Chains A and B, each alone.
Chain A
Amino acid sequence: MIAAQPLSDLLPPEALASVDSSPLFGGRPPEAIVRPASVEEVAALLSWASREGVGVLTMASGHRVAPVTREGRFVALRMDRLNAIEAYEAADLTITAGAGAPFSSVTRALGENDQWAPFDPADVAARSLGGLVAAGESGPLRMGYGELRNHVLGARVVTGDGRTLDLGGRVVKNVAGFDVLKAVVGSRGGLAAITSVCLRAFPRPEVDRVLVRTEPTVRAAAGLALAVGTAPVLPASCVVVDRLSERGERAALVVRLHGSRATVDEEQVRMERHVGVPFEVVGDVGTGADAASSESTRRLLEGVRDHVKSDGTVVVASVRPSRLPRLLEVVDRLGPLALSCDAYTGLVRVEADPERITELDLLRRDVIALDGAIRQERISSTAMRGSADPLSPHDDRRDASAAGRTALARRLETAFDPAGALWPART
């Protein structure tokens, strides 16, 4: 039994949600779900958990929850009440919001000033700002805009033992001390609980042109994507999907070009000249596009973005982009599964069947042979009930320094969370 009295002494009743309401934890619910409304309440909880030896599984919106495979008592920390847009300085292109703020509400606020946060990982519309930052996922738009981690200007976080830290700031250039914030972004709640985030915003491009080229196979589309990657232009993103529902059962390469209309027109010509084939202009989105074209194109983009369903088991693998054709060759062995591939970073997301452990294990071996990395991003609710984990959660390179790297990571986790109270959202 949880020490209910002490926790309820620490936190107001409205910060303690009913446990019955959550089917999210793969059959092993937490002893309590805590929904704090202030950073002080988060600090009080973590301080208590460290003292009591209770694990804390941080959930931002609760949209993505890892299976609970660890033994021992735990509570869930849900950030959905920390959801305010705290400051939006449109002229400075910065926005600060609570970790539980839906990313869609941040996007909506920015949109009022023709600004946006150019991050498009799968399911971004359903995720919270804090969850996105904790996962550190940028999506394919990192090609044109850089990774999410470079645009998180600051964050307020609470360490595993309840210390509150303001990391970074609200300015775009800041080297006042070690860049601890970079380590927190993408740490999946393993270093600290993020309570608010200051993000750099960008002006919306006048035109967001979406170009599609269908090909008979994923490998053919990937080959074309590599050619785009060496063109004398830098697209906003370059994604391969195994099929585009609107276009039938064919693989497709989807390229986005951003800028003024004149720039985008010219870049399309240069790119097509470089790769030697024409693309279909699906449409333009953005301030300089007509509404009908924008709406249908936006739907297509959402389809591409969320093509690999998040309610299944998702495996992500990466290699250098030039090795993508070989990676896709080995992925083929898993059968005709939903797949998307970010050609800029060499990242492939594939909906996998967790029962086919042998194939996944072979895939891991091949990815490592290509000097790549592989991990399980999501596990289906069915598989969550079991304990099988066919893939190591960490990079499994057999290089000589793997042990040193792991030791550094462990020591860093200890510096932030001496008692090990935080249960990171990874298997």
Chain B
Amino acid sequence: MTGPLPPRLERELRSVVGADHVITDPDRLMVYESDGLTAYRVAPRAVVLPASTEEVSEVVRLLHGADIEIVPRGAGTGLSGGALPTPDGVIVGTARMNKILSIDAADRLALVQPGVVNARLTEATRPHGLYYAPDPSSQSTCTLGGNVAENSGGPHCLKYGVTSRYVTGLTVVMAGGEVVRLGGAGHEASGELDLVGLFVGSEGCFGIATEIEVRLLPLTEGVRTLLGIFDTMEAAGHAVTSIIGSGLMPAAVEIIDKATIEAVEASIFAAGYPTDAGAALVIEFDGTEAGLDADADRAERCCLREGAREVRRASSETERAALWKGRKKAFGAMGRIAPDLLVQDATVPRTRLPEVLAEISRIGERYGLKIANVFHAGDGNLHPNLLFDRTDAEELARVEKASHEIMSLCVAVGGTITGEHGVGVDKRGYMGLVHDEVELDMLRRVRRVFDPGGLFNPGKVVPDAVDAGALPEVSEVAS
């Protein structure tokens, strides 16, 4: 059922979270029509903004009782449409749950609510000599709850790993409103199934995490940042393989291609990259001061051996920021070249990068599309950016076809369809490229383990079964 909520339900929701925290005004709902993937837009029936585990539980119980779909939402920075509303559903947003509940410096742990902004956690723990390692590009706005839902990565996860490595415990609200505590530091010996690991990356389909316990790391003492300038993407790709193959463990290795360099240098974000370069590599090492110069020297030699025309090295925090600028502002700069941008996300084995990038370039030419690449090269996580104008239906159709070819290409070389943005609605159609029907069926079963009624974030992640009725319900097989 679409349209306004039943008046009684709306009253009950307002009594739980406060009258001001249930949004039904169509103008205010427009903000929630999409997440960072703006190509998809759907107006929700309402948005509810609880402030505690108890309120989330009660809201979920009420919506579940009314058989209304629930779309969990963090900051809405996701790039796969994971927080896209359903026309029948209600968004349950975690924006008001933004408290850092505790910082345990002795055990290097923090307990946070899901609406805490990623970068704020590091700011809060810095005085304790600690920080939170996963650093998605949107870290100044994205929230820990969203990071848990998407199992977010970031440039520095090459060395430090993605979100799931850092989440030690969760309090989650399940379908029906039941509150369940999963994992938790100090319970290593429990011998239980790893439900925390399974919940992380579930894209809002299993429930809503309302408290998140994360592991913190000691602040690194020093950092060295290099910028390698190459004539071709191929040479830059070989340099990445050479650096990793030499035994070095950089904190980050990011690649920026010619199209992106041109866009950045023509924008207000100009970072001083040579516009005739074919590619640039941002390489960063962090850790104890004593070994950093030696590591940077070795990486520089790798770059020069693979044909870098120049390797710059930052000698101050200002210079470091300048070297990173072209990478961090790339997406903003692309707005100058085209009104719309589809940020794709796939992972390939690192050694296949040069051939995959060459083929992506050919795909762009074949479809008459400009494709700019800026991505996490160290772990083979590609982000081809397809530039287009959404008002041009014919061009949009070419974007979709080119996307499909890029995904197929990445899978064909042993990669996958998403490395960090998640499946959401955007990649659901590609799931068949990496999973056969038996595996998709298992994903559906696992989803029903957590949410037998299928009210949490329907239409996301797993494509519908050809014949859903033929699948046994978990509740049936369990009995």
What's the Cα separation between A191 and B157 when bound, in Å?
A: 29
Interface centre among A204, A234, A411 (most CB of B within 10 A): A411
Within 8 A of A (CB), among B103-125: 104-109
B369 contacts the other chain (CB 8 A): no
Q: Which of A297-346 contact B (CB under 8 A)?
A: 316-323, 345-346
> Looking at the complex, which one of A171, A191, A234, A345 makes contact with B349 (CB distance below 8 Å)?
A171
Judging by beta carbons under 8 Å apart, are A232 and B219 in contact? yes
Bound CA–CA A197/B382 (angstroms) = 24
Give CA–CA (A179, B217) in the complex, Å: 24
| Residues from chain A with Cβ under 8 Å of B104 in the complex | 320, 322
CB-based contact B186/A414 at 8 Å: no
Decide yes or no whether B303 CB sits under 8 A from chain A: no
Which B residues are CB-close (under 8 A) to A180? Answer: 198, 442-443, 446
Question: A182: shortest Cβ distance to chain B, in Å?
Answer: 3
B218 x A170 contact (CB < 8 A): no
8 A Cβ contacts from B272-288 to A: 287-288
Q: Are B161 and A405 in contact (CB under 8 A)?
A: no
Whole-angstrom distance between the Cβ of B161 and the nearest chain A Cβ: 5
Would A262 and B347 be within 8 Å (CB), given that A178-B205, A412-B446 are in contact?
A: no
Of the stretches A1-9, A27-35, A102-110, A393-401, the one at the interface is A393-401
B260 within 8 A of A: no
Q: Mark B461-479, 1 if CB is under 8 A from A, else 0.
A: 1100000000010100110
Tell me the complex Cα distance, A346–B109, Å.
13
Which residues, 171 to 200 on A, are CB-close (under 8 Å) to B? 171-180, 182-183, 185-188, 190-191
Contacting A165 at CB < 8 Å: which of B157, B287, B423, B439?
Answer: B439
From residue A193, how far is it (CB to closest CB) to chain B in Å?
Answer: 14
- Determine the distance from Cα of A371 to Cα of B184 in the docked complex, in whole angstroms: 10
Which A369-387 residues have a C-beta within 8 angstroms of B? 370-375
Question: Would A182 and B107 be within 8 Å (CB), given that A172-B380, A320-B186 are in contact?
Answer: no
B259 contacts A by Cβ under 8 Å:
no
- How many residues does chain A have at the interface if contact means C-beta atoms less than 8 Å apart? 95
A346 touches B287 (CB 8 A): no
Is A249 an interface residue when CB atoms closer than 8 A count as contact? no
B355 contacts A by Cβ under 8 Å: no
Partner of B416, one of A171, A190, A203: A171
Whether A232 lies near B218 (C-beta < 8 A) is: yes
Residues of A within 8 A of B (CB): 89-94, 114, 136, 146-147, 149-150, 159, 163-167, 169-180, 182-183, 185-188, 190-191, 202-204, 206, 226, 229-234, 259-260, 262-263, 265-267, 270, 287, 316-323, 345-347, 370-375, 393-395, 397, 399-401, 404-405, 408-416, 418, 426
List 12 additional contacts besides A164-B438, A187-B193, A401-B178; criterion CB under 8 Å.
Answer: A90-B245, A165-B442, A170-B414, A176-B435, A185-B194, A186-B193, A320-B109, A320-B185, A371-B184, A408-B195, A408-B449, A415-B477
